[in-house]
Amino acid sequence: MILVVSDLHLGYKKSNHEDFLNFLNEYENVKIDHLILLGDIFDFWRCRSKKIITENEEILSKLSTLTHKIHYIAGNHDYYILNLKGIFNGNYPFKVSKYLRLDDHGEKFYFMHGYELEVLFTLDPLTIDLYEKFSEKMCLTENIIGGIAGFLWDFLEISRRSVDRVTEEMKKNPQNRRKICKVYELAVSQGRYPLLGLKPDEKLVFGHTHRPFINNDKTVVNTGSWVDELPSKEYHNSYVEISKGEIKLKFFK
Ligand SMILES: [Mn+2]
């Protein structure tokens, strides 16, 4: 079985970290082949690492004792994890990467955090490459809004209006962004193959939008979030379970 969670935003005041600890406890004795932390697990944009660590001692200790194979896919809010992995290199406890491919019972799955979809569809003229530089910088800055605008000025030759538009969009929480539904359109379209590097037989698992969904033929799924921010409670604490090659979108109560 493969278990996937994303967008815990540990460190952010609205993170449902207690629920996630209960979730880990519940799955502690279940046989899981892979536990995938699909990005935005830590919220370095909003919180210094010291605070994240002290506030989530139990979760971190639980993760370090789990026997499941853990994969950490970098999100935009924890992009810095890629630097940490580089610094500690072979000794790092998790496998850290931007993308991951896994098989389960003959079915193929492609995992990514999913900021790429938002950049491609709604944040032009930003490129994925620039957005990653920006995400790394945001993990190390204290003034989020100033950081966004400053970065756009420094790296893009665009008008004041474009800077304002992109800044305005990026400072909102994902579920409130005006064009976030476009991400869904791209995810379920044939465009996902050339634009996201998917192979024709691969199923897509991503997060980032904080809007959990699964399409009808169960080939594209969004893991949702563990942040207490959406208008409806039923959307909280979602995760994806893959067993016998089949994707299930679930909610932890
Ligand atoms: Mn994200």
Phi, then psi, of 69 in degrees rounded to 5:
-75, 120
What pLDDT, on the 0 to 100 scale, is given for residue 251? 94
**Distance, CA 33 to ligand 1 centroid (Å)?**
25
For CA atoms 161, 126, 80, 202, the dihedral sign is positive
The total number of structural domains in the chain stands at 1
**Distance, CA 225 to ligand 1 centroid (Å)?**
10
**Distance, CA 118 to ligand 1 centroid (Å)?**
9
What is the value of pTM for the model shown? 0.89
Does 246 map to a domain?
yes
Does 171 map to a domain?
no
What pLDDT, on the 0 to 100 scale, is given for residue 221? 97
- Please say whether the beta carbons of 212 and 238 come within 8 A: yes
**Distance, CA 144 to ligand 1 centroid (Å)?**
15
What pLDDT, on the 0 to 100 scale, is given for residue 25? 93
Does 98 map to a domain?
yes
**Distance, CA 196 to ligand 1 centroid (Å)?**
16
Domain interval for residue 77: 2-113+204-251
Does 29 map to a domain?
yes
**Distance, CA 241 to ligand 1 centroid (Å)?**
20
Does 94 map to a domain?
yes
**Distance, CA 60 to ligand 1 centroid (Å)?**
20
Q: Which of 1, 44, 45, 3 is nearest to 20 (CA)?
A: 3
Does 72 map to a domain?
yes
**Distance, CA 104 to ligand 1 centroid (Å)?**
26
Angle between the N-to-C axes of helices 160-170 and 144-155, in degrees from 0 to 180, rounded to the nearest 10: 140
**Distance, CA 227 to ligand 1 centroid (Å)?**
12
- CATH number, domain containing residue 43: 3.60.21.10
Query: Along the 253 residues of the chain, how does pLDDT read in single tens digits?
Result: 999 999 999 999 899 999 999 999 999 888 899 999 999 999 988 888 788 888 898 998 888 887 678 999 999 999 988 987 777 776 777 789 999 999 999 999 999 999 999 998 887 778 899 889 888 888 887 766 666 767 777 776 667 777 777 777 777 777 677 677 788 889 999 999 999 999 999 999 999 999 899 999 999 999 999 998 866 556 789 999 999 999 999 999 8
What pLDDT, on the 0 to 100 scale, is given for residue 10? 94
Does 211 map to a domain?
yes
Place of tokens 């935003």: 9
What pLDDT, on the 0 to 100 scale, is given for residue 109? 98
**Distance, CA 78 to ligand 1 centroid (Å)?**
8
